Amino acid sequence: MNPVIDRLKIIFVGIFLVINIGLLIWEFGWEIPRQNCEKAHKWWDPAERVCAQPILISDVTGRLIDNPQAKVDALKAIGRPIPPSLQQAAAAQAAAAKAAAGKAAPKTASSPVPAAPKR
């Protein structure tokens, strides 16, 4: 067989193997750990390949979140378990807000703002 064809065949097989090895390294070194990190509701840093635990600003500053619904939303966002007492308080607050909205007088539609005169 022609030696040029044999040489090209070896070059193409070599390029194919290098690309496949690179894809395997990327998949097992970056992609699978990123997916596992995101499933655990954590933050993935691709530059350093670090899976970090998110924290609430209130944990750092020591300020309390007074609104139960806001606290429930914040805990859900970072994947922390929500205490049953906090769920009940948030549900009670949401029910009170619905009741207050139902009792409020319906707003009347205001007249539209007149358009500016054309020049």
Find where tokens 């209130």 sit. Answer: 58
Domain spans in the chain, listed from the N-terminal domain onward: 1-53, 55-97
**Model confidence pLDDT, tens digit, residues 50-106:** 998 888 888 788 788 888 888 888 888 777 788 888 878 888 888 888 888 777 655
Per-residue DSSP letter, 104: S
Comparing 117 with 100, the larger pLDDT belongs to 100
Q: Please tell me the distance from the alpha carbon of residue 30 to that of residue 32, in angstroms, as a whole number.
A: 6
The chain-wide mean pLDDT, for the chain, equals: 83
Q: What is the pLDDT of residue 70?
A: 84
